[in-house]
Structure 1
């Protein structure tokens, strides 16, 4: 499956994950995504709501002094997150 291959690739370059899901009936559940990530030896927090997942990621970045935040997913998910990231910008 494509999701298995993509998850394995991301696990080779990322240390920790927050699994979320878009508001779309064809979505991959956050629980299933977390299982795929953990199968590849990485830790994963489940946060079904994308806005809350982004907030947790921002907290983790500050707390653990990370330099990069990688957001990956469907166009539906990216669209939801993009709206938050660029809110109030021209």
Structure 2
């Protein structure tokens, strides 16, 4: 792996770590439930991006499959939380 790619992935992981800390602050301090749901949505998105950067860094396809699973479960959980906030129930 080239030095430039190693530096770029390290920088990207640092940026995602900083962004995740800021999102955690919003998750804790969020005045409304919508803010907290959006913060959780961003956290799974950041986790997916971190796994993808790690896949680039380690040059492995397994990481991209894990990122796909994180995206799938994140979408389903976000939809369930939105439905719960709107209707007060998930299963009708």
Classify the TM-score, shorter chain: under 0.3
Q: Which has the higher strand share?
A: 1
Structure 1 length-normalised TM: 0.27
Point out the structure with max Rg over C-alpha. 2
Q: Which has the higher helix share?
A: 2
Structure 2 length-normalised TM: 0.27
